[in-house]
Chains A and B, each alone.
Chain A
Amino acid sequence: MSNKEALLTIADLHASVEEKNILQGLDLEIKPGEVHAIMGPNGAGKSTMGYVLSGRDGYEVQKGTAVLDGVDILELEPEERAHAGLFLAFQYPVEIPGVSNLEFLKAAVDAQRNARGEEAISASDFLKEAKAACKQVNLPVSFLKRGVNEGFSGGEKKRNEIMQMLLLKPKLCILDETDSGLDIDALQVVAEGVNSQRAPDRSFVVVTHYQRLLDYIKPDFVHVLADGKIVKSGDASLALELEAQGYSWLQSSKEDVNA
């Protein structure tokens, strides 16, 4: 794996929200096929990282680069980043009343195909794929007809995010605390959805507070994000260490480094 070109390279990324500096020199390199878990205390900038990479309004980049597949995506519109293969599974998926899941997803898939110069997918082919995706994340097919996230429970919303990922087939998936608020069954469904998509040309960034998710989604690397940068990286065993000891030992060691 190590001799492959990186899929995503984040270098010295500084970003702020409402004039508050959140990311302060983030470096991260992700190669195709890898799964990276990002852990860290509240307010460390984990969700901010996802929003900055996907181009959400209000997140200002001060400096640094984020190169996805050879392109600095920080210059692109959010939808262009999506076309480039970036997918963000939201921590709190928003409702779009009256727009059916099916209609929404077909429009999204078609927009991405269009950006790649491909023709729109036929309605019947898409319906087949969508039904299969529903089944995979254990959502009734009737959810395709319901408004996007409209009246969905917390767990259903998260599974719906994974379903979208299955249909959009992104290169880089950022899962922003997709495990929060899930019971153990839903957690397994989500993890299976992710695992089924693991492929040599697809990478994952799994943002989580809990080691529990990593029992199901085995990461290649675990990083600790604190105060806007990665303060420690390791393999899956790092997550277990964090589970046992919390983050404070890292923050003190960081002070040592700074001293």
Chain B
Amino acid sequence: MTEQIDKALEREYEAGFVSDVESETFEPGLNEDIIRRISTMKGEPEWMLEARLKAFNTWLEMEEPDWALVDYAKIDFQAISYYSAPKSMKDKPKSLDEVDPELLRTYEKLGIPLVEQQMLAGVAVDAVFDSVSVVTTFREKLEEAGVIFCPISEAVHAYPELVKQYLGSVVPTKDNYYAALNAAVFTDGSFVYIPKGTRCPMELSTYFRINEQNTGQFERTLIVADEGSYVSYLEGCTAPQRDENQLHAAVVELVALDDAEIKYSTVQNWYPGDENGKGGIYNFVTKRGICHTNAKISWTQVETGSAVTWKYPSCILKGDNSIGEFYSVALTRGAQQADTGTKMIHLGKNTRSTIISKGISAGRSNNSYRGLVRMNSCADGARNFTQCDSLLIGDQCGAHTFPYVESRNPSAIVEHEATTSKVSDEQMFLCQQRGLDPEKAVSMIVNGFCKEVFKELPMEFAVEAGKLLEISLEGSVG
């Protein structure tokens, strides 16, 4: 098997190209002046700048966390550039015709055509390139339904009340080291507001692309689903293949008011670095949602990329009868490291949460599930079900499970199941005996292993996720 795994490492990262776009990029470094300049570039109101500076001072006093089971060279925050935007975006193109064709080509190459006629009819896209949003499609159509879908930099101007009310309400600045950093230097991301009783007429999606060298991407996403509304939101990400590590420290906040439902899906395919762990994205992300009464938040993630992943999409089940779900597939290979999972904080009565985590490790990678289920004293009748399955390919990788369970309410029920299995020789042989080559066999077995999670993805994404796994596993057996 070892030899076969080695071959896996030769695979190509298809999104690894660099776009030839002239960019305006800040010199590396992080200080108050840089933050003021970011704020100026975005033309922000004074309150936003103040919030950034406050966050920066908070961050300065915090320590980088080291509890995750990941190992990486200390990040030099002064060596990173905190702002980069294509020059052509300076004049704020009014329509697609004014957008630099090279940018449009980039997204087309990634399989995300931004010309509305060519797009999947049911999906609106916000395309974020380094530090700015390039274009947001189908905005008029969404506006008819009262849905707001725009870059967050724009929302700061256009909907200051909503932003002020909700930004930082789920992930406060001092929540953690990277959240504080993000609050200080975030550049762009998406803002979504779904009005009361509205079912968002199409899937919303943001596609994040890091292009420029030595830059970090610090995006901020805020989704507010007002009472009784529903939205399904998809997030995709890629970056060029570079020898240096790049930092991606995002914050995503979801607010589901009474009876609202948010479905948030991610297909993360950041550049994972080469087989020796050189280069690749450090993906240090804080994602959290709050559920009010009868509300539901469902996180689905397919994580195939990044050199180091540190990510725990979580739900605070504040309202009675609210529901939190977390479905995750995390695939690591080569020298990748992932420490990912979720937190389900049960505050309300009869709150329910489901956690299905599928970790797949190949090569010399390390894949950890870390999850917290907390039943607070007032969470009468709350229930959680957790299932963590690990699949090992080869004999040099690691799978780890760190479940934390805290129950302070005797009527709460917490269930935890965990399995570890290997792609067995018998399974491989059965597939080959029936005529499948080993690559197809592995990808089929792995896809089967992930089925419970894939069925939670919106259809277009499920297909994409399946293909992505197939590409990721290309050559993983010889």
Contacts and interface: CB of A to CB of B under 8 A. Distances in A.
B159 interface: no
Contacts of B404: none
A76 to B, nearest CB: 11
Interface stretch (A34-42, A106-114, A223-231): A106-114
A168 B438 CA distance: 18
B440 A107 contact: yes
Contacts of A58: 425
Contact of B436 (A55, A79, A81, A95): A79
A78 B432 contact: yes
Interface stretch (B243-251, B368-376, B441-449): B441-449
Contacts of B14: none
Interface string A26-57: 00000000000000000000000000001111
A97 interface: yes
Interface in B418-447: 424-438, 440, 444-445, 447
Contacts of B432: 55, 77-79, 82
B146 to A, nearest CB: 40
Contacts of B438: 79
Interface string A136-163: 0000000000011000000000000000
A74 to B, nearest CB: 15
A99 interface: yes
Which of B432, B435, B444, B450 is packed against the most chain A CB atoms within 10 Å?
A: B435
A28 to B, nearest CB: 20
B424 A111 contact: no
A99 B444 contact: yes
A97 B449 contact: yes
A108 B436 contact: yes
A117 interface: no
Given A99-B445, A147-B448, A164 B427 contact: no
A164 B434 CA distance: 8
Contact of A88 (B426, B428, B433, B444): B433
Given A107-B444, A111-B440, A96 B435 contact: no
A94 B424 CA distance: 9
B452 interface: yes
Contact of B434 (A82, A95, A98, A147): A82
B436 A96 contact: no
A57 B433 CA distance: 11
B451 interface: yes
A115 interface: yes
A153 B98 CA distance: 64
Contacts of A96: 427, 430-431, 444-445, 448
B450 A111 contact: no
A83 interface: yes
A99 B435 contact: no
Contacts of A109: 435
Contacts of B430: 90, 93-94, 96, 148
A98 B449 CA distance: 6
B428 to A, nearest CB: 8
Contact of A111 (B429, B436, B449): B436
A96 B428 CA distance: 10
B437 A57 contact: no
Contacts of B428: 57
A77 B429 CA distance: 11
Contacts of A108: 431, 434-436
A187 to B, nearest CB: 23
A104 interface: yes
B440 A99 contact: no
Nearest to A94: B426
A242 B126 CA distance: 76
B444 A111 contact: no
Contacts of A79: 432-433, 435-438
B436 A107 contact: yes
A176 to B, nearest CB: 11
A254 B206 CA distance: 76
Contacts of B424: 94
Given A108-B436, A115-B435, A78 B429 contact: yes
A104 B434 contact: yes
B437 A98 contact: no
A99 B429 contact: no
A81 B432 CA distance: 9
B448 A97 contact: yes
A237 to B, nearest CB: 33
B444 A104 contact: yes
A58 B424 CA distance: 13
Contacts of A97: 448-449
Contact of B435 (A56, A57, A82, A98): A82
10 nearest CB pairs, A to B? A98-B448, A99-B448, A108-B434, A98-B451, A78-B432, A82-B435, A94-B426, A111-B435, A112-B435, A79-B432
Interface of A: 54-58, 77-79, 81-83, 87-88, 90, 93-99, 103-105, 107-109, 111-112, 115, 147-148, 164, 168
23 contacts: A55-B432, A77-B437, A79-B433, A81-B433, A83-B435, A94-B427, A95-B427, A96-B444, A97-B448, A97-B449, A98-B447, A98-B448, A98-B450, A98-B452, A99-B448, A103-B444, A104-B434, A107-B444, A109-B435, A111-B435, A115-B435, A164-B434, A168-B435
Given A79-B432, A148-B448, 20 more contacts: A57-B429, A58-B425, A77-B432, A79-B435, A82-B433, A82-B434, A82-B435, A94-B427, A96-B427, A96-B445, A99-B445, A99-B451, A104-B431, A104-B444, A108-B434, A109-B435, A111-B437, A147-B448, A168-B434, A168-B435
